[in-house]
Amino acid sequence: MPERKLTKKEMFFSFLNKLFFLTAGPFIAAFALEVFLVPNNIIDGGIVGVSIIVSYLTKINLGLLIFLINIPFFLLAFNKIGKKFVLQTFYAIGMLSLALNIFTTHHMPTTDDLLLCTVFGGIILGTGVGLVLKNEGSLDGTEIMSLVLSKKFGFSVGEWIMLFNVFIYSAAGLVFGWNRAMYAVLTYFIAFRVIDVVLEGLNSAKSIEVISDRAEEIGQELIEKLDISVTYLHGVGGYSGAQKTIIYCVVSRLELAKMKEIIKNIDTNAFITIVDVHEAYGGRIRGRQR
């Protein structure tokens, strides 16, 4: 069956939706930086962190620095990743620079409680960055550099980002003091977890595989009691050589405990594997609530 193409109207509204979040995300991130983090000398990782340190030492405008330092990474990504991503990243970072100057001009009120600034700054920053990433943009050129280096020299993208951040937070410790550097690391981890929530949603799904001699009985109970769809896969035991029926299904996190209870009530020896699902479309994933 041929894939249905989007109409011009659908494409237009999709573009507006993406543009809205590529604008809102940077403004949310800028709010976190100017209200909670920068006034208390708590940095973010990556290019933003480098820019905060350089701005503090040179008094150059922070928004301008973030934009200028990211330019080489735009050029690098243009050939390596693609025009669409670069244009959307260029726009998002431009909005971040603009928003930082707007919030700086209006001198937004803040608190000097470092723990509150760390927690709320991390949550708000992670929300803004997550919205940009979810809409195929970026606010940090180190991710682009890490992607290129991982292909050329090995190591994963995450390992390169961690290496960059070790140097950045070490520099923050030398400039702002190690106390502030430790708060900055805590901010980074809070923001990192919030980004995951924004990208995956609060009601993350779980992919389940069950191997049991009573697979069909378990499958029927899952269908009736959880109102989900199950798929039967056929396999062969590597040790016994016996034919096995495998149940495959996707459930919400809230249904997971009930699902395990149903399986154990039927077969206490059932083998169950559970894997996080970042996105799931179609089918009957959430039962009647959908």
Global confidence as pTM: 0.75
Domain 205-289 has CATH 3.40.190.10: no
Encoded tokens for 99: 């928003």
The more confident residue out of 259 and 155 is 259
Q: What is the structure's pLDDT at 229?
A: 86
Encoded tokens for 157: 């993208």
Residues comprising the chain, all counted = 290
Counting other chains too, the contacts that 114-120 makes at CB distance below 8 Å and 24 or more residues apart are 114/40, 114/42, 114/180, 114/183, 115/183, 116/36, 117/36, 117/37, 117/40, 117/42, 117/183, 118/36, 118/42, 118/183, 118/186, 118/187, 118/190, 119/190, 120/32, 120/36
pLDDT at position 256 over 50: yes
Q: What is the mean pLDDT of the chain?
A: 84
Nearest by Cα to 26 from 92, 121, 103: 92
Amino acid at position 246, single letter:
I
Q: Transcribe 153-198 into DSSP letters.
A: H-S-HHHHHHHHHHHHHHHHHHHH-HHHHHHHHHHHHHHHHHHHHH
Q: What are 94-133's pLDDT values in tens digits?
A: 999 999 999 887 666 677 889 999 999 999 999 999 999 8
Nearest by Cα to 101 from 43, 152, 31: 31
CA distances from 137 to 63, 90, 146, 201 (A): 18, 8, 16, 18
Domain boundaries, the chain: 8-200, 205-289
The 10 Å Cβ neighbour count of residue 39 is 16
The more confident residue out of 140 and 29 is 29
Q: What are 33-88's pLDDT values in tens digits?
A: 999 999 999 998 889 999 999 999 999 999 999 999 988 887 777 766 667 888 88
How confident is residue 1, by pLDDT bands cut at 50, 70 and 90?
Answer: very low
